Amino acid sequence: MQLASTASAADRFDPRRAQAQRLVAEGRCPAALEVLSELRRSVPNDGWTLLQIAHCELEEKRYQAAAETLETAKAANPNDGEVRLQLAIALYHGEDFAASSVELETAAQTLGEERAEIALYRGLLLLTQPEPKSAAAGAAWLERARTLGGEAVEPVASYYAGMGWSTAQDRGRARESLQRVVREWPGTKWATSAERRLSEMGADSRRWWGLVRAGLEYDSNAVLQGQGVPLPSEISSQRDIRGVWSAQAGTELFRTGQWVSGAAFNYFGSAYRDVKSYDTQFPGVAVWLDRKLDDATTLRVAADGGYAWVAEEPFFWTHRASLSLLRQWADAGSSELFARYWHDDYLKISGDVPGPEPGVPYPSCAPPADPLAFCGPPGLDEHEARNRDGNGTTIGFLHSLRIPVELPFGDATARLGYQYDRFVARGTEYTYQAHAVAGGIRVGLPWSAALDVSGAWAYRPYRHPSTFPNQPLIENTEYVLSATRHRETSYAVDVAVERPITTWLSASARWHLERTDSTAEVFAYDRQIVGAYLTATLGN
């Protein structure tokens, strides 16, 4: 750091400088000022001397005197960032907030953004503004100051961060910051003030929330008909219109300083206009436990499960357990690293396809007097091979980030994630591993609307060849299976527009496109969904 100085080399090694520095370090400012005054008379514009004098004047809360001393130092060397920073501090405490802000930003250009004092006084200056948005921004800067400077800016940073979060109506963060002051700085005036503020806030109410959504969708491939695969005789068309609805209700079970637990109930339903055999009811429950590792990192353990009925018949049940590490970065968004185990149990399994009659030469299935529609390869039990029950594991990550671009209708947020799946089924048909990449962006639109665009790609190699044929089925003829291992690649694009109607009700529209290419034609399909929805949200 280049300090303003007109002192000669001899003056800079004056033993009185060491004496003054020792007295300042010991907090003996009255004695230090006597020595510093002698030094100033010898060299009036020595930057080091002026900074030491200003330091003591700030310690003694003589803010006007400190500002005048620092103005003298600034005149001698206007590019000295340390002088500018100390002047910003003096002006702030002298309640000249506009001038303080100017000096602070000038200091930041020289000293950089990693100085805890710069983050601290940015936050304090923002708290002088009455708007809740400014209070939230100020509290965020104060949290950053604490991570940069630790005890050098504590407990001031945490205390005023708590005040800022309180003004911004973020009671959870406010309580967290103030409790930190009480816990880590007991017996200080800051802890006493924090306890008083916590008492005024009262006990936290237990968080709860609810969501109900209802909509209408057009689906171009409601039955997921594969390429070259005929529809069942009872279904006239693969296209259909359906009503869809979902609901969720959740609550915190308990909250302490570092632990939070909650539970939720969720439900999804659909009813088709024509394909009644695909009507679905799917309720589920979830519980989780969060452990706060530090102010930016949370470890989460969760479990959930669900049971589905299709056409009023039991169809499927599943349960999962997951472990997640969530991290909020100061300027780089938020991340989640997760691992998951799940078990699926399908209550409806494909039946066995009869093989050829003994003694009947290939490719016939049976004597002409007893024809079959078609038959499968000998020795293959399709009922067993197509059993989809099994266990899966997943690892992956997701990162979201605010795009640092000024947009006319609000912020833009981008997200990107990767996921690896491995599923081992009881039957050979459905054992696979998969790699998937997904990303998206959400931007503001006019009239408080928002646009969300996302896309995904997945590659799914199966362990075995498929047990489904890739050729037309011919009456009384044995079909042949491919010896090549089953592979799939899928793509999906989703575009949604949402706009609030009231504080608790919003409307949205969605277009969804997906395509799966597969070495087994029964699994290769295209699909488009167009839908419109109303969503109601409640909670505290």
Instruction: Tell me which of 93-97, 149-153, 400-404, 504-508 is least confident.
Output: 149-153
Q: What mean pLDDT comes out for the span 479-507? A: 91
Residue with tokens 């959400």: 442
What's the helix, strand, coil split of the chain in %, to 5?
30, 40, 30
- Element (H or E) spanning 205, and its range? none
- Element (H or E) spanning 24, and its range? helix 15-25
Task: Say if residues 85 and 46 touch (Cβ distance below 8 Å).
Answer: no
CA distance 178 to 108: 28
CA distance 36 to 69: 12
Backbone angles phi and psi of 206, in degrees to 5: -70, 125
Task: Say if residues 31 and 25 touch (Cβ distance below 8 Å).
Answer: no
CA distance 377 to 24: 93
**pTM metric for this prediction:** 0.63
CA 68 to chain centroid:
48
271: left (phi over 0), alpha (psi -120 to 50) or beta: beta
| Greatest extent of the chain over all pairs of C-alpha atoms, in Å | 124
Q: What mean pLDDT comes out for the span 269-278? A: 90
pLDDT at 368: 57
For residue 235, give every residue at least 6 positions away whose Cβ sits within 8 Å of its Cβ, in sequence order, or none: 223, 274, 275, 277
Share of residues in the chain with pLDDT > 90 (%): 35
Strand residue runs (E) in 370-504: 390-402, 412-425, 432-444, 450-465, 485-500
Instruction: Tell me which of 2-11, 57-66, 73-82, 403-412 is least confident.
Output: 2-11
Neighbouring CB atoms inside 10 A of 177's CB total 28
Q: What mean pLDDT comes out for the span 403-419? A: 83
Task: Say if residues 461 and 450 touch (Cβ distance below 8 Å).
Answer: no
Name all contacts of 456-460 with Cβ < 8 Å and 24+ positions apart: 456/490, 456/491, 456/492, 457/489, 457/490, 457/491, 457/492, 458/434, 458/488, 458/489, 458/490, 459/434, 459/435, 459/487, 459/488, 459/489, 460/432, 460/433, 460/434, 460/487, 460/488, 460/489, 460/490
pLDDT exceeds 60 at position 455: yes
Average pLDDT, the chain: 84
Closest CA to 251 of 259, 243, 241, 261: 261
Instruction: Tell me which of 304-308, 311-315, 493-497 is least confident.
Output: 311-315
32: left (phi over 0), alpha (psi -120 to 50) or beta: alpha
Per residue in 307-351, pLDDT tens?
A: 999 988 999 999 999 999 999 886 778 899 999 999 999 988 777
pLDDT exceeds 50 at position 11: no
- Reported as a pLDDT band with limits 50, 70 and 90, residue 7 is very low
Task: Say if residues 349 and 387 touch (Cβ distance below 8 Å).
Answer: yes
Q: Mind listing the domains of the chain with CATH numbers? A: 9-201 (1.25.40.10), 208-539 (2.40.160)
pLDDT at 10: 40
CA distance 252 to 158: 25
Per residue in 54-107, pLDDT tens?
A: 777 777 788 888 888 888 878 878 888 888 888 888 888 888 888 888 888 888
Closest CA to 116 of 149, 157, 141: 149
Per residue in 256-269, pLDDT tens?
A: 767 889 999 999 99
Task: Say if residues 232 and 240 touch (Cβ distance below 8 Å).
Answer: no
